[in-house]
Amino acid sequence: MQMRHEGIEQEIEVSEASVKHHERAGWTQVGDDQALPLTETAAAKGRRRETGEN
């Protein structure tokens, strides 16, 4: 996948497995004009606590 970052002229090639990591760092996919850099991610859900647990 080709990706670019605001302020950096050169595009980079990354594997599909690395796309999410790069998007979180502000990179966008080339040709994906609607892609916006992620500024927030959802928090992981915690497990349900049983009665009496701290």
**pLDDT by 10-residue block (mean), the chain, 54 residues:** 92 93 93 54 60 66
Q: What is the pLDDT of residue 15?
A: 93
The Cα–Cα gap between 19 and 39 comes to: 15
The predicted model scores a pTM of: 0.53
Instruction: Give residues with Cβ within 8 angstroms of 28, minimum separation 6.
Output: 3, 4, 5, 35, 36, 37
Q: Where are the alpha helices (DSSP H) in the chain?
A: 19-24
CA-to-CA separations, 53 to 43, 45, 47, in angstroms, rounded: 21, 17, 12
pLDDT (0 to 100) of residue 7: 87
State residue 45's pLDDT score.
60
Quote the pLDDT of residue 26. 94
